[in-house]
Structure 1
Amino acid sequence: MIPLNIAGSDVVLRGGRDGVRDLFARRIDGCLVTRWEPTPDELAILNRGGSVELWCLGTRSHPPVRLQVAEHEDEQS
């Protein structure tokens, strides 16, 4: 997945190491919201019925999370 800049971003989680990109986020209703775009290979997997996995680093606790789809920002009203 490719991290995208989200409209109205007000948080930047800096990457920089090992080719990790900066992650732009927007605070909405007490959440940090980020946008991701599948690579062409990932999109092909999804189109064949594949699914999305969420990985959280660490094993002691799992924060509340939500996954959803969104239109391209230039198509949103």
Structure 2
Amino acid sequence: MNKRLDHKLECPTCGTIYLRIPDDVQDHTLIQCSSCDRVLGKWRELEIDFHSQGGGSGVFEMHEGQIIRKE
């Protein structure tokens, strides 16, 4: 299994998976890469992608927008 998530969550500009998620995030909120500020998509789309890659099963964790694989 990959140690990092990819697909919509990986920034196509800088290659990081580090999301800027506002405190009042809603389904339609645009989410940016924390490293280069590129818009990655709407929160709902990214959340679905996160869960489809194991985020919902406890394989990955998200802390302050950074997604890491649990050891």
What's the TM-score once normalised by structure 1's chain length?
A: 0.24
More helix by share: 2
What's the TM-score once normalised by structure 2's chain length?
A: 0.25
The structure number with the bigger radius of gyration is 1
